Structure 1
Amino acid sequence: MPRPHGFSFRQRADGTVVITHGAHTAAVLRGDRAQRFLAEAERGDAQLVMARWTGNYRRGNERTARTHARNRG
């Protein structure tokens, strides 16, 4: 699986964190969630952390896999 790329974030003066992917806003984090995100992004790979926090680590095949015969339970 390719590594995530194209994410960026900025922290506003009020503490809000805006995560963008390309030119699109992917997530807006406020309060405690914003502080937890910043701490995690500081410790790890920021691109991977942003992909996980925005939900973009999924590639869209989960719905198809769920209905596959071997996954019906």
Structure 2
Amino acid sequence: MPRPFGFTYAHRPDGTVTITHQGRAAGTLRGERAAKFLGEVESGDAQLVMARWTGAYKHGNERAARQHPRNRR
């Protein structure tokens, strides 16, 4: 499965975490959720964790896209 890329995050001094995807804001986390996110991102694959937290993960069209003639190998 190809890995999503282009995600970054910024941890601000007030505890807020902002996740961006290719330069655009994809999500903002505060408080307990921000702390949980930071724990996950440090212990796993950061790109996959950010994709999951922003909801940009497994939209259901992966199988159909794989079968498209442009994507066949």
Q: Specify if TM > 0.5.
A: yes
- Calculate the TM-score normalised by the size of structure 2: 0.78
Deviations 1:14-73 (A, max 9, x none): 000000001110000000000000000000000000000000013363xxxxxxxxxxxx
Q: Which runs of 5+ in 2 are unaligned?
A: 62-73
Give the whole-Å Cα distance in 1 for the aligned partners of 2:59 and 2:5: 14
* RMSD over equivalenced CA pairs, Å: 1.5
- 2:33 match: 33
Q: How many residues align?
A: 62
SS at match of 1:14: coil
Aligned structure 1 segments of 4 or more residues deviating by more than 6 angstroms: none
Give the whole-Å Cα distance in 2 for the aligned partners of 1:36 and 1:57: 18
